[in-house]
Amino acid sequence: MKDPGYYRNEYGKQKLLENDLPSGPVELFEKWLLEAFEADLPEPSAMTLATCNNDGRISARIVLLKGFDSSGFQFYTNYKSQKAKDIDETKIGSMNFFWPEMERQVRIEGTIEKISGRDSDLYHSARPRNNQLGAWASEQSQPIQDRETLESQYEAVRKAFEKQEVIPRPRHWGGYRLTPDRIEFWQGRENRLHDRIEYLTDASGRWCNQRLSP
Ligand SMILES: Cc1cc2nc3c(=O)[nH]c(=O)nc-3n(C[C@H](O)[C@H](O)[C@H](O)COP(=O)(O)O)c2cc1C
């Protein structure tokens, strides 16, 4: 096995310079995400979502970004999961996108809230039937006896909805939106002199940016 202590990677495929920045961080995120999709990266919309409970214990896991605009960044999950409990308690979170092939990282921090039931319904209705059934069948983050129990729960749900063309959204499943107050873009550069541009919101909610040392 390669010793991680001696593993080195050189960066320098691209630059992130002030003169090339679009009008705001959401526009820059859109550009980078689009480029990640165009480069055919595996799971370009996957991010690490970190949440925190009242005791200050932090927990991180991968989720998929399902939408974004100037109001925030959305993902979907189980409202009884560990992350949902954390969000109920502290309402803060952080998202981290890493696109190694592009030598890019984006860090997004802010507050998280549930999206409307209507918006969750809309997204749920567009999911494949099997995924909808999966949301009904799994008590996410709860212990379960064995694999067979999970599969029999799925089968029970499948049977229960067999005659229904439309599967309703489970009340325990839906979307969240992270409203950002900090977004940082990292572009790998030569000699570890990476580009870092940090956007922060000012008192009036407008984005300002500054360069950070790598
Ligand atoms: C590529 C990938 C994508 C995932 N996407 C989601 C997702 O969109 N929503 C979700 O709830 N869990 C997703 N998961 C599972 C989570 O990482 C995690 O196991 C689950 O949400 C339970 O986390 P929690 O116990 O911290 O709440 C994904 C995992 C991977 C590896």
Residue 50 has what pLDDT? Answer: 98
d(CA 67, CA 48): 15
Catalytic amino acids? 192
Which atom, in ligand 1's list, is nearest to the CA of 66? Answer: 8
Give DSSP secondary structure letters for 54-111.
TT--EEEEEEE--EEETTEEEEEEETTSHHHHHHHHH-EEEEEEEEGGGTEEEEEEEE
Mean pLDDT of 96-107: 98
d(CA 186, CA 117): 35
pLDDT tier, 2 (very low <50, low <70, confident <90, very high otherwise) = confident
Residue 142 per-residue DSSP state = S
| pTM > 0.85 | yes
Instruction: List, chain by chain if needed, residues with CB within 6 Å of any ligand 1 atom.
Output: 43, 46, 59, 61-64, 75-78, 81-83, 140-141
**Length of the chain counted residue by residue:** 214
- Residue 177: CB partners within 8 Å, gap ≥ 6? 71, 72, 73, 74, 112, 113, 114, 115
Whether pLDDT at 8 is above 90: no
Which of 51, 52, 63 should be mutated for ligand 1, with most atoms under 8 A from CB?
A: 63
pLDDT in tens, 184-196: 999 999 999 999 9
Domain limits, the chain:
10-127+171-211
Which atom, in ligand 1's list, is nearest to the CA of 83? Answer: 27
Mean pLDDT of 50-60: 98
Q: Domain 10-127+171-211 belongs to what architecture?
A: Roll (2.30)
